[in-house]
Amino acid sequence: MLSSILLDAGVAMIGAGIGAGIAALGAGLGIGRIGGSAVESIARQPSESGKIQTAMLIAAAFIEGVALFSVVVCLLIALA
């Protein structure tokens, strides 16, 4: 009985760690892609750099928000 509970807790910890890692990896890839596309867009249209930077920062903030939410959910799963 106790070994089953400890095994379940261990599996939850491993799953939460993998989930948090995937969330961080996804956020890093997304923000990297946004940054690369923004730099390319600014190179093509330098006069629109202000609008492009604003849109880039808003999109990056949304991605960070989703990643933070995912990590918090993973931590709650690990601690439950």
From first to last of the 80 residues of the chain, give the pLDDT tens digit. Answer: 656 666 677 788 888 889 889 999 999 999 999 999 999 999 999 999 999 999 999 999 999 999 999 989 988 888 87
* C-alpha of 10 from chain center: 24
Q: What is the CATH number of the domain that holds 24?
A: 1.20.20.10
Among 16, 31, 21, which residue's Cα sits nearest to residue 64?
A: 31
**Angle, helices 49-79/2-44, rounded to nearest 10 degrees:** 180
Q: What is the pLDDT of residue 15?
A: 85
Q: How does DSSP classify residue 45?
A: -
Q: Residue 19 sits in which domain range?
A: 2-79
Q: How many CB atoms lie within 10 A of CB 3?
A: 7
